[in-house]
Structure 1
Amino acid sequence: MEPLLPPLRITALSLLSALLLAAPAAADQPAAAPAALPGLTYSEPAAFSFDALADRAAALARQAHVPTPVAQPEVLEKIDYDAHWRIRFRPEATLHLGTTPVQFFHLGTYFRQPVRIFAVKDGAAREVIYSPDQFDMPEDSPARTLAGNAGYAGFRIMRPDMQSDWISFLGAAYFRTDGALRQYGLSARGVALNTGLSIPEEFPRFTEFYIEEDAEGRTVIHALLDGPSVAGAYRMVMRNEDGKGQVMDISSRLFFRNGVERLGVAPLTSMFWYSEANRFQAADWRPEVHDTDGLMVHTGAGEHIWRPLNNPDRVVTSSYFDRDVKGFGLVQRDRDFDNYQDDGVFYDRRPSVWVEPTSPWGAGAVQLIEIPTDDEIYDNIVAFWNPEKQPLPGEEMRFDYRLHWVATPPVQMTLARTVATRIGNGGVPGQPRPRDVIKVVLEFEGPALAGLGQQDGVTPEISAPAGVEILRPYTLPVVGTDRWRLIFDLKAGEGVETADLRAFLTREGVPLTETWLGQLHPAQINRLR
């Protein structure tokens, strides 16, 4: 007999989600009687500054990489998904830095390498010493057998009322916030190395965190990064404003031990399974499932680009070359609950993240990597800035930027934006449908289109690569809305695996919409639909 439910596929991401959703206390879990609260124990204070941390990173890069040792791996192996979920941080043990409450994550089989966490005040740093008394856990929890200062897996920062957290750092160099709508979704990380190549990707780690609250009440996190090919120092100044989201000003200094084939700056990681464009790829009951539905770019020349995401049948890397890019991000534009119907994980509330360089980044490319997936538990989308010049051994690189965790990116744009990309069978209704023709329907909405009618000269501009034919393009306003549709058929010649399209609407030669960049895979579409 088949099981009623498929076996649970556990990932570090799914465990993180469970930990973040956990209540502050484990009142509903069988736990040992709490020990007398010991308070937090600290090391002796030591002078601290960001420049000193950067000097340490530079010194590390001149030495061979030494991975953080995993202490007592036989114990951590036993702290599996269920055991980890039952370990809850005690709210009474919260580290309070002014109005910044910090709580810690416990080590386990999915997060084995510890991080060191320091509280900073008045230029002095004191390490917070791990104690099992800081956590509620069942009597039979394997975590009770950990000896000494085992360290922490990561941490999260709570809101002042202590009812929910708004940012977490857990695993490698990953971090994420809950955005303007208080729902976790995509992640950022410190740096990406060799992502999407035939050689193994590297995942440097934040190994030490130095947390303080500045004179303006902002949370400041300094982090030491270390990995086989790079060491680095980060300074993150963070502001959380309920209802608007979070802003992080980041300064990074990277010191390379080895050369890197593909450097990813300000990398973002997300999930895209299917949307209205590729609904035929999933047999799920929900209309759409994704953390993000598109890549948005504001080029150095001022062009606004929207690139809807795909779930391809192979790993695909797309590069959008630019100089001094003004910004880019992974964006969840569709905010209509009816288009998701998921009242458990609320994809309609997932944050968008906008990367805004605060110093010139020069020549390079916004790169988008799309990986095939058949489930929502896997992150399969990566976007980052790839500088034209890749780092060499012994080289230092600096990048300053601002991350906006918001519902809508803070980009001033009068152009209409893309609100839907739809794919279907080509041809003319009422006539036999040619199997090798794909219909593409784009919907645009915004003030630039408001009030325009069919006779007002709205004209499509479409470009396609060699071997791809665009048939019967036309535009029309959508009755009862401020939207316009651009509709056309596409026929790909034999051997065309990828069709990179470019489209926008104009009037008297003046753009009315942002530029839609669509990447279609005709063979995959024809095979699946």
Structure 2
Amino acid sequence: MSKSLNRRRFLSLAATGAIAQRFAVGTAAAQAPTTWAGLVQSVIAEGQRFDPALVVEAARVLSRRPMVPLVATDLPEGYATLPYDQYVGIRAQPSGMIWAGENRGFTVEPLHRGYVFSSPVSLFTVEDEVVRRVAFDPGKFNYGRVTPPPSGADLQFSGFRVSAGLERPYELALFQGATFFRSLARGQNFGALARALILRPGEQRGEEIPFFRAYWIERPSPAAGVLIIHALLDSESVTGAVRMTLRPGDVTFIDVEMTLFARANLDHVGFGCVMGTYLSGPQSRRGFDDLRPAVHEVSGVQMLTGNGEWIYRPVSNPANLQVSSFQDSNPRGFGLVQRERDPNAFVDDDQRFELRPSVWMEPLGEWGPGSVQLIEIPSESELNDNIISYWRPRQPIAAGSETTVAYRQAWCWQPPERPPLATATRIRQGRGSQARRRRFLVDFTGDRLGDAALVAAIRANVTATPGSIQNLRLWPYPERRTMRVAFEVDPGSETLSELRLVLDAGGQPVSETLLNRWTW
């Protein structure tokens, strides 16, 4: 929803006096409650008529007062330190599933608090345009080996799980913790993790972590195939209203529309954030003693720049923290992708990394100048999401200002929009012919590489900054529509080199642009 539409609907309601009365009461009442739930109820209470503009105005009202600290002191003893296996054993009973058996195409399962998910979240549904609070009831959960909380306890929730489908329902999305959520396409396993907003990642002063404090989930119409979720975001420096529209399928689309109200100057803010795991693989190894040839759920960052250049940057598990910035203006798309789909590349029958989703971001509207940021964090465990990608606008967000941003996520096997060029399908590296040299081997694959005449005219333009390229060779395989490029990088006395490789013929690109960073 655009800012202008939000304001138009808001003013329309205000003209009838309805929203004016709510916020006159809500603003005064907001001075008294000392809990987050109280603040939410003072603005959008159960039984009220729902309108998305109310969530936006709630965020605006809350931005004018300091953040109410998030506390978890109401959890029963031991819940915050539950082992993972005991926590995941707490599941909602059939009676606790929202819209189960109503043939609406979606079922929502409220998630219990505990383990690392101790922060309370308020859940509401919107049914017949009226707000209904989802009340916490211990009797609607199966606690397995965990002692249930006392009856009458109101613990709220930690988030919710969404299942889609009628005949063969499958888990579609999970919203739990901070502003984290994840989804997948039909036939995939959960993998990469999205964040609605990221603040100051990778900085020495420390990251600020926003949280979703409340959700309003609109009851879907039967056979509509769409689920709409509204969320109220809060953090020390910013509040916000987020609307997410889920459309599952062979590609699952999530349209994200966000309005932010800055309490303080935001000089490092990120939109369209995705996180994933890269531990090891042929493109980057750090001597792991693992029988699996590769361990990763994302292989690289794909970008379509504002001027139409397709770029691919493989990710790595570096020895030291690496932060890369790819300058652009009005990007047309970016995201973390998993290009390897061969199960033999992983040989992992449990994790099935080849079934993890790629996540592609399509900005809606002009985003202006900024950069796609890539953070690569050293990791010794496949449980860590050590790869982070997001868009960082060049212009800081001033305190007291209102900012709107919208984008479409595609959770997919491969991005809906793909390069009309050869793409890097295999990347390997290893020791070079001399002590400090590194040898790289890149396979490009595409239909045009089956044209023998074109292949004869192809040249590889490869640079290293700083450093030099040595022993450059090309091997064409037109029967496989593949061109193999091999070269060595000599860094001299430097410890870091930025690589750039593109195939061209007659001055026109035949492949996407491959970027890489190597550190010694």
Which residue number in structure 2 is paired with residue 452 of structure 1?
Answer: 452
Report the secondary structure of 1:301's partner residue: coil
Which residue number in structure 2 is paired with residue 17 of structure 1?
Answer: none
Q: Is contact 1:424–1:440 with CA below 8 Å preserved after alignment? A: yes
Q: Distance in 1 between matches of 2:115 and 2:225?
A: 36
Q: Distance in 2 between matches of 1:180 and 1:490?
A: 41
Give deviations 1:201-221, integer Å, cap 9, x for gaps: 011111111111455441000
Q: Per the alignment, do residues 152 and 460 of structure 1 end up closer, same or farther by CA in structure 2, a change over 3 Å counting?
A: same
Give deviations 1:56-114, integer Å, cap 9, x for gaps: 10111111011233142452235332331221211232111733211111111311111
Code of the aligned partner of 1:440: F
Which residue number in structure 2 is paired with residue 493 of structure 1?
Answer: 492
Give deviations 1:348-368, integer Å, cap 9, x for gaps: 010000000111101100000
Q: Does residue 49 of structure 1 match 2:51?
A: yes
Which residue number in structure 1 is paired with residue 352 of structure 2?
Answer: 346
Deviation at 1:134? 1.0
Which residue number in structure 1 is paired with residue 481 of structure 2?
Answer: 482
Q: Does residue 85 of structure 1 match 2:88?
A: yes
Which residue number in structure 2 is paired with residue 515 of structure 1?
Answer: 513
Gap runs ≥5 in structure 2: 1-44
TM-score by length of 1: 0.85
Q: Residue 271 of structure 1: which of 277, 282, 297 is its match?
A: 277
1:231-310 mapped onto 2 (5 Å cutoff): 231-241=239-249, 244-310=250-316
Q: Does residue 229 of structure 1 match 2:237?
A: yes
Q: Residue 382 of structure 1: which of 384, 388, 400 is its match?
A: 388
Give deviations 1:229-282, integer Å, cap 9, x for gaps: 1110011111001xx131011110011111223111111111111111223531
Code of the aligned partner of 2:451: G
Q: Per the alignment, do residues 146 and 310 of structure 1 end up closer, same or farther by CA in structure 2, a change over 3 Å counting?
A: farther
Deviation at 1:47? 1.9
Q: Residue 198 of structure 1: which of 184, 197, 204 is its match?
A: 204
Q: Is contact 2:499–2:516 with CA below 8 Å preserved after alignment? A: yes
Q: Is contact 1:91–1:103 with CA below 8 Å preserved after alignment? A: no
Code of the aligned partner of 1:334: E
Q: Distance in 1 between matches of 2:76 and 2:92?
A: 22
Report the secondary structure of 2:499's partner residue: strand
Deviation at 1:141? 2.3
Deviation at 1:315? 1.2
Report the secondary structure of 1:348's partner residue: helix
Report the secondary structure of 1:95's partner residue: coil
Report the secondary structure of 1:398's partner residue: strand
Report the secondary structure of 1:145's partner residue: coil
Report the secondary structure of 1:47's partner residue: coil
Q: Distance in 1 between matches of 2:454 and 2:309?
A: 26
TM-score by length of 2: 0.87
Q: Is contact 1:181–1:351 with CA below 8 Å preserved after alignment? A: no
Q: Distance in 2 between matches of 1:455 and 1:247?
A: 37
4+ runs of 1 displaced by more than 4 Å?
A: none
Deviation at 1:197? 0.8
Which residue number in structure 1 is paired with residue 72 of structure 2?
Answer: 70
Q: Is contact 1:186–1:270 with CA below 8 Å preserved after alignment? A: yes
Which residue number in structure 2 is paired with residue 396 of structure 1?
Answer: 402
Q: Distance in 1 between matches of 2:517 and 2:365?
A: 31
Q: Does residue 113 of structure 1 match 2:116?
A: no
Q: Is contact 1:191–1:204 with CA below 8 Å preserved after alignment? A: yes
Q: Distance in 1 between matches of 2:480 and 2:63?
A: 58
Q: Distance in 2 between matches of 1:265 and 1:439?
A: 36
**Aligned Cα root-mean-square deviation (Å):** 1.8
Q: Is contact 1:80–1:110 with CA below 8 Å preserved after alignment? A: no
Q: Does residue 100 of structure 1 match 2:106?
A: yes
- Single out whichever of 350-359 and 468-477 deviates more from structure 2: 468-477
Q: Is contact 2:430–2:439 with CA below 8 Å preserved after alignment? A: yes
Q: Distance in 1 between matches of 2:188 and 2:203?
A: 34
Q: Distance in 2 between matches of 1:207 and 1:276?
A: 42
Q: Distance in 2 between matches of 1:506 and 1:491?
A: 23
Deviation at 1:287? 0.5
How many residues are paired up?
Answer: 469
Q: Is contact 1:454–1:476 with CA below 8 Å preserved after alignment? A: no
Q: Distance in 1 between matches of 2:478 and 2:455?
A: 14
Q: Per the alignment, do residues 298 and 180 of structure 1 end up closer, same or farther by CA in structure 2, a change over 3 Å counting?
A: farther
Q: Is contact 1:179–1:352 with CA below 8 Å preserved after alignment? A: no
Q: Per the alignment, do residues 219 and 455 of structure 1 end up closer, same or farther by CA in structure 2, a change over 3 Å counting?
A: closer
Which residue number in structure 2 is paired with residue 220 of structure 1?
Answer: 228
Report the secondary structure of 2:366's partner residue: coil
Q: Per the alignment, do residues 179 and 64 of structure 1 end up closer, same or farther by CA in structure 2, a change over 3 Å counting?
A: same
Q: Per the alignment, do residues 372 and 288 of structure 1 end up closer, same or farther by CA in structure 2, a change over 3 Å counting?
A: same
Q: Distance in 2 between matches of 1:454 and 1:477?
A: 11
Q: Distance in 1 between matches of 2:212 and 2:151?
A: 22
Q: Distance in 1 between matches of 2:118 and 2:51?
A: 28
Code of the aligned partner of 1:157: V
Q: Residue 61 of structure 2: which of 59, 62, 66 is its match?
A: 59
- Identity in percent: 31
Report the secondary structure of 2:149's partner residue: helix
Report the secondary structure of 1:77's partner residue: helix
Q: Per the alignment, do residues 407 and 446 of structure 1 end up closer, same or farther by CA in structure 2, a change over 3 Å counting?
A: same
Which residue number in structure 1 is paired with residue 150 of structure 2?
Answer: 145
Q: Distance in 2 between matches of 1:267 and 1:455?
A: 38
Q: Is contact 2:125–2:219 with CA below 8 Å preserved after alignment? A: no
Gap runs ≥5 in structure 1: 1-42, 428-433, 524-529
Q: Distance in 2 between matches of 1:61 and 1:477?
A: 60
Deviation at 1:149? 1.6
Which residue number in structure 1 is paired with residue 340 of structure 2?
Answer: 334
Give deviations 1:480-503, integer Å, cap 9, x for gaps: 522111111110121x22211111
Q: Does residue 158 of structure 1 match 2:188?
A: no
Q: Does residue 506 of structure 1 match 2:504?
A: yes
Q: Residue 183 of structure 2: which of 164, 177, 184 is its match?
A: 177
Q: Is contact 2:185–2:411 with CA below 8 Å preserved after alignment? A: yes
Deviation at 1:407? 0.4
Code of the aligned partner of 2:115: T
Q: Distance in 2 between matches of 1:69 and 1:173?
A: 17
Q: Is contact 2:464–2:489 with CA below 8 Å preserved after alignment? A: no
Report the secondary structure of 2:271's partner residue: strand
Report the secondary structure of 1:54's partner residue: helix
Code of the aligned partner of 1:407: W
